[in-house]
Each structure stands twice: as C-alpha cells, then as structure tokens.
Amino acid sequence: MTDTLERLLIIDFGSQVTQLIARRLRELNVYCEIHPYQTVTMDMVQQMAPKAIIFSGGPDSVTREGSPRAPQEIFDYGVPILGICYGQQVMMQQLGGQVDGGKISGGGGTAEFGRAFVAPEGTLDLLNGWFEDGDEQVWMSHGDHVSRLAPGFEVYGTSPNAPYAITADTARNFYAVQFHPEVHHTPRGARLYENFVKLAGFRGDWTMGAYREKMIAAIREQVGDKKVICALSGGVDSSVAAILIHEAIGDQLTCVFVDHGLLRKNEAEEVVGMFRENYNLSLIHANEEELFLGELEGQSDPETKRKIIGKLF
C-alpha cells in the first residue's frame, strides 16, 4: 500500500513550548514529528519527506559559537519553512542576515519578554485573518534580535523592540516570526499555523483515529502469528503500547506486571484489575516486593537505588 501520509517536520532547538507547536498542528489534522536539531540530517529529512518544516524556538544565542543550527542544505530542499523566535534567528544567520545580542529594555533595549503588539507592514498570505482589528497581540520571549534581514526577505510586521517581528521570502516560501504563535498569549496564533499549512498544501485529513488504525495494521503485519511479551508498568507509555498491541493481535500478547513494592497503596491491585477486567489482557502478576525491598534495604543514595532497581528488572 502506498504511503500517502503528509508529514511536517518540527526541528526542536530546545524551546519549552515545542510540544504546543505539535498540538496546534494536530488540531489542524496535520501529522507532524518533533526531532531534536542534533538528530536532523539531510538523509533523515529525505527519508521522512516532509511537505513543510518548522524551526522551533530555543534558549540559546545564535551569536554564540557552536550554537544550534539546521543543516545548511535544508534551505535548498524546496519546501516551506517557518522559523519561530530562535528559529527566525537561525534562518537569518544561516541565510546571510545578521543577529545581534539583546539589550535590556529601558536603555534602548531590544529584548522582549511578555506581551507585545505587532503592527502590520504590507500584506502576506501567512497573515490572513490577522490585523483585522488593528495591531495584533503576541507573546515575545527573546534577548537577541535580527538586525539585518537575509537577502530575499522583507518585513511584514514590527513591534517596538523587534523591527523584524514578521519576515518572509515569499519566492522561496520562507517565513519567520520573532514571537510564539503556539502559546495562548498570542490569541490568533492558531490562525497563523492554519495559514502556513495551507500555503504548504496540506490536505488536513490526518486524525489520531486514522493513525491508530495504521499502527494496528503495522503491528499485525510485523508480528504475524508469533507471540509477544510486553512489560507492563501501568504507566502511560507501557499501557498505551499494551492496549494497542492487544487490539492488533489479541491473545497472542502476554503482559508481565512486576510488582516491586514501590507503588502507592493498592496501586498494584488497581493496575492488575484494570487490565484483566477492563481490557481482558492476559497478564502475569509477578509479586517481587520481597526481592526488591530486600536488595534496597540500607540504601539511601538515589542513584544507587536506581541502578539496583534497573538490574533487578
């Protein structure tokens, strides 16, 4: 079966709100993946084949030697790119613009932290639905600032401390904003993401339900008629994995729950009861409380205890 899934790549430069970018995109029925900048290579990009790319924000300074960058070749890949905050500065720096270190506000400063208002400078498809009621409220969180645009870019929005708050090279479908449209402090930020995925040509037909069915089919194909053992802790990760595998292959799955005696009161019984009674999973309950607590007796160092627990598992 041909893979028709449309993908968007988010390159994570360390922002605390990168997950919110993904959430906004998934609300628009766009499939996206977050990858740390350290893992992004052109081979990886070509294998993923994204229809668009977003550069997240980040805490670093592009003026610092060795600070995070995107692969230079990514700008020749031929898909729309949106840079956010640090992502904007990365684009400018790598494409021939200039970024200067920030100054504290009050002394001719350029740093902004908190609510700000962006004024329009021209029209741009990325900004459809913006500026209908005047200046647009956004959330800024930057020290450094773009002081010279890269060749091909023009300014489409300014704020008191960010003369290049919104910039774009429309010929190459490169867009960059100094603020964070993903946070709720930017009230119409979701509209900006909606406009971006439209510019990139996404159908917007991805859903979590469709993804679930795809994963179930993939598990069935991989497992075939074999048996699967799944370590089940009762946490979110292992629980989702166990239920998904069970929906795919049913009784071919056996889960093992190791009761190490370190859970909350009655939690082990709750986990076992939930998966046996509610999900009808074949579940082995290994009561190893005595073993674990015996090995941990007299230990006070957290790292030592962590290693003991890991070894026993």
The three-point CA angle 25-28-29 to 5° equals 95
Report residues of the chain scoring pLDDT below 50. Answer: 1-2, 105-109
Tell me, yes or no, whether 2 lies in a domain.
no
Cα pseudo-dihedral 230, 235, 236, 237, rounded to 10: -40
Q: What's the N-to-C CA distance of the chain in angstroms?
A: 39
The answer to whether the beta carbons of residues 81 and 52 sit under 8 Å apart is yes
- Are 91 and 138 found together in one domain? yes
Shared domain check, 89 and 178: yes
CATH code (residue 99)? 3.40.50.880
Structure confidence at residue 141 (pLDDT): 80
Number of domains observed in the structure of the chain: 2
- Residue 29 domain flag: yes
**Is 133 in the same domain as 236?**
no
Residues 56 and 194 in one domain: yes
Q: Say whether pTM exceeds 0.95.
A: no
In angstroms, the Cα distances linking 18 to 100, 182, 197, 210, 297 are: 24, 8, 17, 23, 41
Residue 65 lies in a domain: yes
At 4 the pLDDT is 79
Last residue of a domain, one of 135, 170, 199: 199
Residue 1: the pLDDT is 40
Round to whole Å and give the CA distance between 108 and 127: 29
1 assigned to some structural domain: no
Name residue 130's amino acid.
Answer: W
10 Å Cβ neighbour count for 203?
Answer: 11
Extended strands (E) in 19-80: 31-36, 52-55
**Distance (Å) of CA 311 to CA 172, 291, 296, 305, 307:** 53, 12, 12, 10, 6
Euclidean distance between CA atoms 211 and 223, whole angstroms: 18
Neighbour-count burial of 87, counting CB atoms closer than 10 A to its CB (0-12 exposed, 13-18 middle, 19+ buried): buried
Look at residues 199, 227, 245 and tell me which one is the last residue of a structural domain.
199
Q: Which amino acid is at 294?
A: G
Burial of 31 (0-12, 13-18, 19+ CB in 10 A): buried
* Residue 216 belongs to domain spanning: 208-312
pLDDT at 11: 98
Q: What is the CATH classification number for the domain harbouring 276?
A: 3.40.50.620
Q: Which residue has the tokens 């082995």?
A: 284
HSE value, Cβ hemisphere, 13 Å, CA-based, for 288: 15
Residues 139 and 271 in one domain: no
Q: Are 176 and 245 in the same domain?
A: no
Catalytic residue numbers, as ranges: 85, 180, 182
Give the residue from 149, 158, 151 showing the smallest Cα distance to 127. Answer: 158
In 245-289, at which residue ranges do the beta strands (DSSP E only) sit? 253-259, 282-287
Region of 50 on the Ramachandran plot (φ > 0 left; ψ -120 to 50 alpha; else beta): beta
Q: What is the DSSP letter of 274?
A: I
CB 182 within 8 A of CB 84: yes
- Cα distances (angstroms) measured from residue 139 to each of 7, 94, 250: 27, 24, 48
